[in-house]
């Protein structure tokens, strides 16, 4: 297959590109600074730059996956909010319109999203049919998923992959591991908030299933079937590193350091999410349990 991929230099995008190449697929990359054989992105003009593609590469796409996005875990100034939104939503609209306008359309368009769609839901068990929450992240995810509409209206199967925290040698653990190794691991706030997570291997597997499985359309939760509380995540990681984790970071301090929005919606929000669509599809998780997933990360 020939697969168009945005975000191929990111933590998840790199792993997906490697997996696609390993199984013999051709990856056509989107980039703000395109090299030969890549598609350029010009959001200001609302167009894709195709000059670096040869004529044979302009058609014949079987699938497209949109994972690009500006970093989220930082203070949300007005400028940063715009960058976070446009890198996902504006590019998503642009890509979906491009795909829908092709004479030979791909059979599937997969867009990223996140469990932030559900907002802060306490003890509620959530699946793909649960309603959207409130807040900037929930609004972002709704708009990100809606950006795929032009592709769906053109008859392309569309899937929105709502990812939890992805555990691998990058992403959320990149900053946490050095702190935990130094004995500075700490639960966040009360530590009772639910954390929905997934290993990088299973995240890639979920994206591949979204591309391959014709039965899947609409939202898909890319999370382990076993969410944990933040306190359990903290304790498990510390135990595997043979380090103490006696500290905690009070919510007011998190808000002071990061800002109320990112602190409340990313670090303190409780999201107990179930991967109902993947379970119905018979998806076999490589790392369904937290300890096994963390051991696999540290073994590498």
Which domains can be identified in the chain, with CATH numbers? Answer: 2-167+197-225+271-286 (3.40.50.720)
Considering only residues 142 and 45, tell me which one the structure prediction assigns the higher pLDDT.
142
- Cα gap 64→82, rounded to integer Å: 24
> What is the pLDDT at residue 251?
96
**List of E strands, the chain:** 2-6, 26-31, 39-42, 47-49, 63-66, 108-114, 125-126, 157-163, 165-168, 170, 186-188, 194-195, 197-199, 218-222, 228-229, 247-249, 272-273
Q: Give the model confidence (pLDDT) of 161-210 as tens digits.
A: 999 999 998 888 888 888 899 888 999 999 999 999 999 999 999 999 99
Q: Give the model confidence (pLDDT) of 46-65 as tens digits.
A: 777 775 555 445 558 899 99
> What is the pLDDT at residue 41?
79
Mean pLDDT of the residues in the chain: 92
Its sign, for the CA torsion 196, 300, 11, 21, is negative
Q: Residues of the chain with pLDDT > 70: what percent?
A: 97
Q: Give the model confidence (pLDDT) of 249-297 as tens digits.
A: 999 999 999 999 999 999 999 999 999 999 999 999 999 999 999 999 9
- Cα gap 41→46, rounded to integer Å: 8
pTM for the whole thing? 0.94
> What is the pLDDT at residue 55?
47
> What is the pLDDT at residue 53?
57
> What is the pLDDT at residue 216?
98
Is the pLDDT at 214 greater than 80? The verdict is: yes
Nearest Cα to Cα of residue 216 among 93, 108, 65, 114: 108
> What is the pLDDT at residue 37?
72
What is the residue whose two structure tokens read 């992403």? 171
């Amino acid at each position: 297959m020939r697969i168009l991929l945005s975000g191929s230099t990111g933590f998840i995008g790199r792993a997906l590109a490697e997996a696609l190449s390993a199984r013999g697929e051709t990856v056509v990359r989107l980039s703000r600074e395109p090299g030969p054989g890549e598609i350029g992105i010009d959001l200001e003009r609302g167009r894709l730059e195709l000059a670096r593609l040869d004529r044979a590469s302009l058609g014949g796409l079987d699938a497209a996956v949109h994972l690009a996005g500006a970093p989220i875990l930082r203070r949300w100034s007005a400028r940063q909010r715009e960058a976070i939104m446009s890198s996902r939503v504006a590019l998503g609209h642009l890509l979906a319109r491009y795909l829908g306008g092709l004479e030979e359309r791909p059979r599937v368009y997969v867009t990223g999203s996140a469990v932030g769609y559900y907002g802060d839901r306490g003890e509620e068990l959530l699946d793909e049919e649960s309603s959207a929450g409130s807040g900037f992240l929930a609004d972002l995810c709704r708009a990100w998923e809606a950006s795929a509409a032009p592709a769906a209206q053109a008859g392309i199967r569309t899937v929105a992959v709502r990812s939890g925290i992805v555990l691998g040698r990058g992403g959320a653990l990149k900053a946490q591991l050095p702190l935990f190794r130094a004995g500075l691991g700490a639960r966040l706030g009360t530590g009772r908030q639910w954390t929905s997570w997934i290993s990088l291997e299973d995240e890639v597997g979920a994206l591949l299933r979204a591309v391959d499985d014709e039965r899947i359309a609409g939202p898909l939760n890319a999370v382990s079937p076993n969410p944990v509380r933040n306190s359990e995540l903290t304790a498990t990681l510390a135990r595997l590193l043979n380090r103490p984790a006696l500290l905690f970071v009070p919510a007011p301090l998190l808000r002071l350091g990061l800002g109320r929005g990112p602190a409340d919606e990313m670090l303190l929000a409780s999201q107990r999410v179930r991967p109902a669509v993947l379970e119905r599809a018979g998806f076999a998780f490589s790392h369904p349990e937290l300890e096994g997933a963390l051991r696999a990360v540290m073994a590498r």
